[in-house]
Amino acid sequence: MKSDHAALKDGRQAIEKGNYAAAVTELLPLARNGNASAQYWLAWMSHQGKGLPENKSAALAWARKAAVQGNADAEFLVGVLHAQGLGVARDDVEAARWFQRAGSRGNWSGQMKTGMCHMCGLGLPLDYLKAYMWFELAVAHSTGHDQVLNRHLRDVVAAMQLTPEQIAEAERLARNWKPQKPPGSNSPRPA
């Protein structure tokens, strides 16, 4: 019998190869047994309609199961579904809460979205200093085009309203930031 680790690895490799039926075969038993990574990937496939019928309610259900276990990718997906009103009524406050949870665990997409929420006052208080801090974190945790976008967003916030002293404070907060640990974990989850 295959170990959970091997089944998860095989499921992820199947996704990378576009063999979504094989991914479902590997991941579904793990997800039903509470494996947060498998639950996230089933949520993603349900959201995208890859290997499973596109079903935003199912995507939300699987993502929530993984998110409550501290899976940052799932937390981000729950935020997206709430922000867009997919599988659930649109709720900017709930979306921001899930984006911030994902960002607090080192997920750069969650950091970027949390920065956007603070920049626009959408689901979180309008706060340019916090927006800058979250964008600064997203710059540090992203690469390539994503990093360029996050740097641009950070610089837009700086140009909008921040004094040099506020920028220095936001940069200090970002430097001192530490990722939160998932529930029941003794070490931070890798980004």
The per-residue DSSP string of 18-65 comes to T-HHHHHHHHHHHHHTT-HHHHHHHHHHHHHTSSS---HHHHHHHHHH
1-22 pLDDT, tens digit per residue, is: 789 999 999 999 999 999 999 9
Q: Please report where in the chains the tokens 């038993």 appear, as a residue.
A: 29
Amino acid at 1: M
Same domain, 119 and 154: yes
Same domain, 35 and 116: no
Query: Is 0.95 topped by the overall pTM?
Result: no
Same domain, 106 and 165: yes
Domain ranges, residue 14: 1-90
| Assigned domain for 138 exists | yes
109-136 pLDDT, tens digit per residue, is: 999 999 999 999 999 999 999 999 999 9
| Assigned domain for 29 exists | yes
148-186 pLDDT, tens digit per residue, is: 999 999 999 999 889 999 999 999 999 999 998 877 654
Same domain, 84 and 1: yes
> φ, ψ for residue 2 (rounded to 5)?
-75, 140
| Assigned domain for 128 exists | yes
Same domain, 65 and 150: no
| Assigned domain for 18 exists | yes
Same domain, 103 and 84: no
Which residues 6+ apart lie within 8 Å of 24 measured at CB?
42, 45, 51, 52
Q: Do 118 and 131 touch, CB atoms closer than 8 A?
A: yes
| Assigned domain for 191 exists | no
Same domain, 77 and 131: no
For residue 182, how many C-alpha atoms fall within 13 Å in the half-sphere facing its CB? Answer: 20
How many domains does the chain fold into? 2
| Assigned domain for 189 exists | no
70 phi-psi bin (left φ>0, alpha ψ -120 to 50, beta other): left
